[in-house]
């Protein structure tokens, strides 16, 4: 059996703002054990028998961030492949692209195990047993979904009605009364969004039920560019042709219409981590029902969840709150309204406020930068450059920059000059000057950058060459 775990990594995670942002979505959130949801998705797939490679479908803006996550946990050095979307087009498009890729690399009888990157599964042994059952059904040509045995009526999930392993129908999120009747009947399962099928089977069903999606994805792949490196393959999907792919889910496009769909009912400690309440429940409660990640000092406080990012949180005389503190945003919510956090995210996005999109610390393929302070005409950043990494050769129209090396050694192109700058040394980069910052050592490089000028936006960059293929 050739099994290819296929991780779908994206989304905004708007219900988990302010930790989740457009460029730091839910899969990258670290839990109390230090692992991200993406770490856990990779490991649960990689530990299974028969795995040939791990395939990930993600936004191209998240590619290097995803690579860094996998480097932390890919101890077996499994081959990795990536399909990089310019923007989201729903799970039908992502799975069509993945199936075409797997068919080409491993043949039509290879099995895809589709795993959303933002779910939590706490029982690996039960998960492996469910996958073993699913692969037997998928090897026989069935399209297989995983149904979670419901612990209580819940209106936040879709449901699957089944007779044994045979799916009778998929149901959208029901009312509470309907959900209660589903649970009492014993014939319904929560729809987990995980699937298993052979590349040939899903492509055959897509040809029949979602031909427009499949043909558009095929055209996109033909127009796209691939790159192969050491143990890593990536295909950056062409934006112009991908824009023509219908935006729809695999459930609606195929699973609800196909005949002979199978379900594997399972009890695997599954959660879609859809709110701060769900994350808070993973932390250990104190005697007053409070759950704390970070540092909090409490007086007469009960049934609250506090998550901090360095600063001390103080609370007095409150109950049933969620308090999430990040360096640039603070969330305070009633625990019973934690699902409504998405409305704050939506308003920030509508206003064009960057707090919906990025954190003060922004990840780049070469390292990170953190905005320390900014005001009219100036911005101060802390820049960390990984060993052996370099920024692009670039120029700015509107701003000048002053670089001070804090630690490490910087290799700098400043106009016609090639400079080596050590700790406590600096250089000045005027506007319209070509420049590059690089770290040619095996130690991390840290600099402070002071920008000044009439416009300091990140889009004031003209790249002349870039190690990472960015335009």
pLDDT digits (tens, 9 = 90+) for 25-55: 999 999 988 999 999 999 999 999 989 899 9
417 within 8 A of 403, measured Cβ to Cβ? no
Each residue's pLDDT, cut to its tens digit, for the chain (471 residues) gives 799 999 999 887 799 999 999 999 999 999 988 999 999 999 999 999 989 899 999 999 999 999 999 999 999 899 999 999 999 999 999 999 999 999 999 999 999 999 999 999 999 999 999 999 999 999 999 999 999 999 889 888 899 999 999 999 999 888 999 999 999 998 999 999 999 999 999 999 999 999 999 999 999 999 998 887 778 899 999 999 999 999 999 999 999 999 999 999 999 999 999 899 999 999 999 999 999 999 999 999 999 999 998 899 999 999 999 999 999 999 999 999 999 999 999 999 999 999 999 999 999 999 999 999 999 999 999 999 999 999 999 999 999 999 999 999 999 999 999 999 999 999 999 999 999 999 999 999 999 999 999 999 989 999 999 988 776
**Which secondary-structure segment (H or E) carries 162?**
strand 159-163
What's the pLDDT score for residue 203?
98
In CATH, which of 2.40.160.40, 3.20.20.10, 1.10.3720.10, 2.60.120.10 is domain 361-465?
A: 2.60.120.10
- Both tokens assigned to 158: 């879709």
- Reported as a single tens digit per residue, the pLDDT across 397-443 is 999 999 999 999 999 999 999 999 999 999 999 999 999 999 999 99
Residue showing tokens 């054990």: 33
- Reported as a single tens digit per residue, the pLDDT across 8-31 is 998 877 999 999 999 999 999 999
What's the pLDDT score for residue 50?
86
What's the pLDDT score for residue 97?
98
In CATH, which of 3.40.50.12780, 3.90.550.10, 3.40.1190.20, 3.30.300.90 is domain 3-271?
A: 3.90.550.10
Burial profile 274-311: b = 16 or more Cβ within 10 angstroms, e = fewer: bbbbebbebbeeeeeebbbbeebebeebeebbbbbbee
- The residues with which 426 forms a beta bridge, in sequence order, are 404
Spatial separation of the C-alpha atoms in residues 362 and 33, rounded to whole Å: 23
List the domain boundaries for the chain. 3-271, 276-341, 361-465
What's the pLDDT score for residue 13?
79
What's the pLDDT score for residue 151?
87
Helix H, strand E, coil C: the string for 208-258 is HHCHHHHHHHHHHHHHCEEEEECCEEEEECCHHHHCCCCCCCHHHHHHCCC
- Both tokens assigned to 309: 């990012």
Helix, strand, coil % over all residues of the chain, rounded to 5: 30, 35, 35
Instruction: Give the pTM.
Output: 0.90
What's the pLDDT score for residue 52?
82
What's the pLDDT score for residue 403?
98
Report CA dihedral (464, 469, 470, 471) to the nearest 10 degrees: 60
């Amino acid at each position: 059996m050739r099994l290819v775990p296929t991780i779908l990594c994206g989304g905004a995670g708007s219900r988990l703002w302010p930790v989740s942002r457009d460029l730091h979505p839910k899969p990258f959130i670290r839990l109390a054990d230090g692992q991200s949801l993406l770490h856990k998705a990779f490991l649960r797939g990689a530990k299974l028998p028969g795995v040939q490679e791990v395939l990930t479908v993600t936004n191209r803006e998240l590619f290097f961030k995803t690579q860094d996550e996998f480097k932390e946990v890919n101890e077996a050095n499994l081959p990795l492949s990536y399909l990089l979307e310019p923007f989201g087009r729903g799970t039908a498009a992502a799975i069509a692209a993945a199936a075409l890729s797997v068919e080409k690399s491993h043949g039509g009888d290879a099995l895809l195990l589709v795993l959303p990157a933002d779910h939590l599964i706490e029982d690996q042994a039960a998960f492996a047993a469910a996958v073993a059952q699913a692969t037997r059904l998928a090897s026989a040509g069935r399209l297989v979904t995983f149904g979670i045995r419901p612990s209580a009526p819940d209106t936040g999930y879709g449901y699957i009605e089944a007779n044994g392993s045979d799916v009778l129908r998929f149901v959208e999120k029901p009312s509470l009364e309907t959900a209660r009747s589903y649970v009492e009947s014993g014939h319904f399962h929560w729809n987990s969004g995980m699937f298993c099928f052979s590349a040939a089977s899903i492509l055959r069903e897509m040809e029949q039920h979602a031909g427009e999606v499949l043909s558009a994805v095929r055209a996109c792949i033909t127009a796209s560019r691939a790159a192969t490196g050491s143990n890593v393959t990536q295909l950056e999907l062409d934006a112009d042709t991908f824009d023509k792919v219908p935006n729809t889910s695999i459930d609606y496009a195929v699973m609800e219409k196909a005949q002979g769909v199978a379900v594997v009912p399972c009890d695997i400690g599954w959660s879609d981590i859809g709110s701060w309440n769900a994350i808070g429940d993973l932390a250990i409660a104190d005697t007053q029902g409070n759950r704390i990640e970070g540092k909090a000092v409490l007086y007469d406080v009960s049934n609250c969840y506090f998550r901090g990012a360095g600063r001390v949180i103080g609370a007095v005389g409150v109950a049933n709150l969620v308090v999430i503190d990040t360096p640039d945003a603070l969330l305070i919510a009633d625990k019973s309204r934690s699902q409504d956090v998405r409305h704050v995210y939506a308003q920030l996005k509508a206003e064009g406020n960057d707090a919906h999109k990025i954190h003060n610390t922004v990840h780049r393929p070469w390292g990170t930068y953190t905005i320390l302070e900014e005001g009219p005409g100036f911005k101060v950043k802390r820049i960390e450059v990984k060993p052996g990494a370099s920024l692009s050769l670039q120029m700015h129209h509107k701003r000048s920059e002053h670089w001070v090396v804090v630690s490490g050694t910087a290799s700098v192109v400043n106009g016609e000059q090639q400079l080596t700058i050590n700790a406590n040394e600096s250089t000045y980069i005027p506007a319209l000057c070509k420049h590059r910052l690089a770290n040619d050592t095996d130690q991390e490089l840290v600099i402070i950058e002071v920008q000044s000028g009439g416009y300091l936006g990140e889009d004031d960059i003209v790249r002349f060459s870039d190690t990472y293929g960015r335009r």
